Structure 1
Amino acid sequence: MRTERSQELFKRAELCIPGGVNSPVRACRSVGSTPLFIDRAQGAWLYDADGNAFIDYVGSWGPMILGHRHPAVEQAIRKVMERGVSFGAPVDLEVALAEKVMSLVPSLEMIRMVNSGTEATMSALRLARGFTGRNGLVKFDGCYHGHGDSFLVDAGSGVATLSIPGSPGVPDDVIKHTFSIPYNDAETFRNLMAERGKDIAAVIVEPVAGNMGFVRPEMNFLSALRDETEKYGALLIFDEVMTGFRVASGGAQELFGIRPDLSTFGKIIGGGLPVGAYGGRRDIMKHVAPQGPVYQAGTLSGNPLAMAAGLATLEELCRPGFYETLAAKTRKLVEGLTAAAKEAHIPVWCDCIGSMFGLFFIEGPVRNFADARKSDLNRFNAYYAGMREKCIYLAPSQFEAGFVSFAHGDEEIHATIQAARSVLKNL
């Protein structure tokens, strides 16, 4: 495989961009490699600057659920470009997208559009603190909620990938209000709430973890979060930036039957363009400026291009049988990867919900970040390198979930399983 052009671009990037990338995990340092620079994409495929073609399981880190360059999304973007690309003023499309998202997620009584998942979670936490008059935050080890100060304590995603301590640059006064405990540990959570519950403004969680690798929640865990927050007057925030419209049309909260007080969204609701959103109970959302005293603003929030792309994407997701078909594709992939590892006598823990999946080089089960960290990282790095050489594009980190799109067909999934079979038998 030729990579000369990507390497040349990376050398230039290192001179003007920290680490040569605009988001840390893209650097591929943890897997002993350098990034591929992507030239274009189509359907389930990426094409790099050297002309190599890859089957894509990153999907721009989640939003490309329809695949790249879906005709309906492209048409919507082209149509709105005839009107303009940014107004800094209200536009009909932001109202339409808000109404659409709210119709699909019953817990949303009001919603505010922002520009990224990080902005959504930061805003939701500020709102929770303003509404409750409390400062405390409970999060879970290995979950990632963006790069807001309060969220970087024991965080997942790139923080875990690069083994960065979770709080450089974050004031001690912020850290002291943040309590990070193991995911899926309902008992520890109950004990913490019994001790500090009256100080806690919010409990934030990835209802299906995707930033420590893929880790499914245990049902008693999510129900414990709901019960204890109600008991102590804290707000429950579901971070559905990754799971929203990915695991079900109403997100993980629909799948598991848990109604949070606030939810955050991103990725899919922008159809691949930069969008985030937070919303929830009307009485809470009325505290957001200009209706209330909790200030949050964004010049480009409700951008017409992003709103149009999001609307077009959600319309496609509402087609009959969409999620059932997508889940079946993902199960087929996971079953094939598991079988390939078994043939090679390599222990793996491979699991999925909807179209999210993950693979750890460990017997399993993987219930939390401590379990995820026991995965054989050297074996993962070799697996990543081998799959990349076979033109399978995976996240360059053990601690990231993978994503299947509707554009992945039997041919792509079969090719991926065959590539894994070849790579695994040589690890």
Structure 2
Amino acid sequence: MFPSSKELFERAKKVAPGGVHSPVRSFRSVGGDPVFFQSGKGAKLTDVSGKEYIDYCLSFGPLILGHRDEDVQKIVSETAELAWSFGAAEPYSLELAEWIVSKIPWVEKIRFVNSGTEAVMSALRVARAATGRDKILKFDGCYHGHLDALLVKAGSGLAGESSSDSAGIGSELIKNTLVLPLDDEKSVEELFAKEGKNIAALVIEPLPANYGLLIQRKEFLSKIVEIARKHGTLVLFDEVISGFRVGLTGMSGELGIAPDLVTYGKIIGGGFPVGAYAGKAELLDLVAPQGPVYQAGTLSASPFGMRAGLATLKKCEKENVYNVLENRTKSFVSGMVSILRERDPEGDWDSSIHSSLFWFHKKAPSPIRTVDKIPAGHKEGFAKVFHALLSEGIYLAPSGYEVGFLSYAHSDKILSETLEKADFALKKLKV
């Protein structure tokens, strides 16, 4: 038996920054001490004290089949008997690459890396090399990893100016990063009229899911792609979250927009560390060893991630996982919102939902498409609900700005169990 979560956290703070290895895990956004987990199976997690939780964080998205899906686990066990790492050419990344290329028309070639951050960093390097331009346009409310050039926010001056969103990032590293608000075609037109000839890439999450679930209008996305292409700017869709989560062809397929470059992660590794950048052959052929754009990685294309990822994707396709999840998510979220509205005396709760992604928030007068439209008091209201649910064994991501996910392991029985537990937990909030 492990020591308690509290004891482990106190120890961890002595040897790791804030006691964690990624900030959101610290519970800083919701208050209290983090739960330390020792195992996961299906839709459930078990903490170090042996308490079970129904998991709606799912490692922030990769586990579309749930924890240790039986079919994927067989592949992982087989792989452990074959090799752990090669640092050499092998057939497993080839099989996954061929499968992805066969399913997605705008992916002609793909390069595997170890994280979404690395994927975006590499794709932008390709875009700059291909265009001979230096500037990048991103959007406030989208997150593309902790790359210096993209860890920026909108400044207070002219449209497109940016400022650092982290200490330790020099002004010279972000001077070529332009930032605009989402859902505003006019600002994009105005910026391109001024800077179009200098912008190498327009990068955006077509389904922004890192600062709440900010579902964009198709008209907005189509228009900004049109503007970018008019000025010779490459379009990079960051589908690290949405790729293979909303469907086999991601948001790009759903929207009918073929990006020049696209980044993937999470699901394509089956729960193991992975990232990928992909797109037109003429762009990917710029990457070493074929071209002048250098990028390398000792552990890129890990046999575990390649084989687990392919097994996951094949099962999603074979068993129609996407339609099943979409229907279950709609029903579950509707039930949760009804309970929240009834049990929380302070909040008129609502939700945003797309496929198997969901986000609970206070009701807004119109769809929340930009950061500034998130209702006041959202963070505090979510923290209260988070801890009430946690006490009854329901685990959401520990931040009001992170989205939730369903997995194929969340059966109708487990979803019903969740609603029962939520109703009981949230009774405590009612005055």
Contact 1:225–1:236 (8 Å) recurs in 2: no
Matched, 1:132 2:131: yes
In the TM superposition, 1:341-360 aligns within 5 A as: 341-344=340-343, 346-360=347-361
In structure 2, the residue matched to 1:197 is: 196
Matched letter for residue 390 of structure 1: E
Q: How far apart are the structure 2 equivalents of 1:165 and 1:149?
A: 9
Tell me how far 1:416 sits from its aligned partner: 2.4
Q: How far apart are the structure 2 equivalents of 1:33 and 1:168?
A: 25
Contact 2:364–2:375 (8 Å) recurs in 1: no
Tell me how far 1:196 sits from its aligned partner: 1.0
Matched, 1:418 2:417: no
Tell me how far 1:339 sits from its aligned partner: 1.7
Matched, 1:273 2:272: yes
Q: How far apart are the structure 1 equivalents of 2:164 and 2:109?
A: 36
Q: 1:375 to 1:250 in 2, by over 3 A?
A: farther
In structure 2, the residue matched to 1:20 is: 19
| SS of residue paired to 1:263 | strand
Query: How many equivalent residue pairs?
Result: 417
In structure 1, the residue matched to 2:46 is: 47
Tell me how far 1:217 sits from its aligned partner: 1.3
Contact 1:57–1:395 (8 Å) recurs in 2: yes
Contact 1:58–1:394 (8 Å) recurs in 2: yes
| SS of residue paired to 1:55 | strand
Q: 1:281 to 1:374 in 2, by over 3 A?
A: farther
Q: How far apart are the structure 2 equivalents of 1:5 and 1:341?
A: 30
Q: How far apart are the structure 2 equivalents of 1:320 and 1:306?
A: 21
In structure 2, the residue matched to 1:396 is: 398
Contact 2:268–2:313 (8 Å) recurs in 1: yes
Q: How far apart are the structure 1 equivalents of 2:164 and 2:380?
A: 21
In structure 2, the residue matched to 1:107 is: 106
* Further displaced range: 356-365 or 275-284: 356-365
Contact 1:67–1:407 (8 Å) recurs in 2: yes
In the TM superposition, 1:56-135 aligns within 5 A as: 56-135=55-134
Q: TM-score, normalised by structure 2?
A: 0.93
Q: How far apart are the structure 2 equivalents of 1:152 and 1:62?
A: 21
1:331-384 CA deviation, whole Å, 9 max, x = no partner?
111111222233346322302111111111233421111112635221111011
Q: How far apart are the structure 1 equivalents of 2:139 and 2:80?
A: 41
Matched letter for residue 400 of structure 2: Q
Contact 1:212–1:372 (8 Å) recurs in 2: no
Q: How far apart are the structure 1 equivalents of 2:40 and 2:419?
A: 21
Contact 1:62–1:242 (8 Å) recurs in 2: yes
Tell me how far 1:104 sits from its aligned partner: 2.2
Q: 1:65 to 1:166 in 2, by over 3 A?
A: same
Contact 1:65–1:405 (8 Å) recurs in 2: yes
In structure 2, the residue matched to 1:297 is: 296
In structure 1, the residue matched to 2:261 is: 262
| SS of residue paired to 1:317 | helix
In structure 2, the residue matched to 1:160 is: none
Matched letter for residue 53 of structure 1: E
Contact 1:44–1:55 (8 Å) recurs in 2: yes
Contact 1:349–1:366 (8 Å) recurs in 2: no
Q: TM-score, normalised by structure 1?
A: 0.94
Contact 2:265–2:275 (8 Å) recurs in 1: yes
Q: How far apart are the structure 2 equivalents of 1:341 and 1:306?
A: 38
Q: How far apart are the structure 2 equivalents of 1:184 and 1:401?
A: 20
In the TM superposition, 1:151-166 aligns within 5 A as: 151-154=150-153, 166=165
Matched letter for residue 28 of structure 1: F
Q: How far apart are the structure 1 equivalents of 2:208 and 2:318?
A: 26
Contact 2:119–2:277 (8 Å) recurs in 1: yes
Matched letter for residue 382 of structure 2: F
Tell me how far 1:320 sits from its aligned partner: 4.4
Q: How far apart are the structure 2 equivalents of 1:225 and 1:22?
A: 36
1:138-158 CA deviation, whole Å, 9 max, x = no partner?
111121111000111129xxx
In structure 2, the residue matched to 1:324 is: 323
Contact 2:363–2:375 (8 Å) recurs in 1: no
In structure 2, the residue matched to 1:161 is: none
Matched letter for residue 416 of structure 1: T
* Further displaced range: 407-416 or 288-297: 407-416
Q: How far apart are the structure 2 equivalents of 1:12 and 1:105?
A: 46
| SS of residue paired to 1:143 | coil
Contact 1:334–1:351 (8 Å) recurs in 2: no
Q: How far apart are the structure 1 equivalents of 2:423 and 2:214?
A: 23
Contact 1:215–1:367 (8 Å) recurs in 2: yes
Tell me how far 1:165 sits from its aligned partner: 6.1
Q: 1:7 to 1:165 in 2, by over 3 A?
A: farther
1:28-47 CA deviation, whole Å, 9 max, x = no partner?
01111111111100100000
Q: 1:11 to 1:42 in 2, by over 3 A?
A: same
In the TM superposition, 1:201-216 aligns within 5 A as: 201-216=200-215
Q: How far apart are the structure 2 equivalents of 1:5 and 1:315?
A: 39
Matched letter for residue 130 of structure 1: A
In structure 1, the residue matched to 2:230 is: 231
In the TM superposition, 1:330-409 aligns within 5 A as: 330-344=329-343, 346-364=347-365, 365-372=367-374, 374-409=376-411
Tell me how far 1:423 sits from its aligned partner: 4.3
Matched letter for residue 325 of structure 2: L
Percent of pairs with identical residues? 44
Q: How far apart are the structure 2 equivalents of 1:295 and 1:165?
A: 26
1:397-416 CA deviation, whole Å, 9 max, x = no partner?
11111100000011221232
